[in-house]
Amino acid sequence: MFGQYADLGMQLNLRFELKADQFRNLRCSTQERQFSLSGCKAGFPTISPNPQYAIRTGGVVGQRLHVDVDFDSQREFDANNNLHVWYEGLEDEILRRVEAGNVTFQAPPSRFITAAVPANNFGVQAIAQLGALEFRASWRSRRAMW
């Protein structure tokens, strides 16, 4: 689809299920008895959709935008899903790298900063370089994205 501008591979697995439950409300008020979906009267079952999907994609768009996605809705822990998109600048550009998704803060070697620095947090991180001076900025969320 993107032709010469992108080299992306994608695998998508999609499964759509419908589940029907017979809901029966045994503590009905007079107002709830008037609504057909309240469960006060025996009747139609409640139908609920249950989509399940898994997507894996990775590659490069325009030689600078990189994509790495591995997401599965049936994984036991949402933290095991991976979403990582980053822009890679050229050697002579000030903006070297901008990452979004699962990012890891790489602290410089120090005896004061130990291995307790969290890794694979969801957020945004940018790296810029002006001469010999390197700038790093990052924002991390405290909760999981999914």
DSSP string, the chain: --GGGEEEEEEEEEEEEEEEE----SS--TTGGG-GGGSSSS-SPEEEEEEEEEEEEEEEETTTEEEEEEEETT-S-GGG-EEEEEEE--TTSSEEEEEEEEE---PPP-SSS-TTS--SEEEEEEEEEETTEEEEEEEE-SS---
Mean pLDDT of 58-81: 87
Least confident of 55-64, 110-119, 134-143: 110-119
Residue 82 has pLDDT above 90, yes or no: no
Mean pLDDT of 96-116: 77
Residue 18 has pLDDT above 60, yes or no: yes
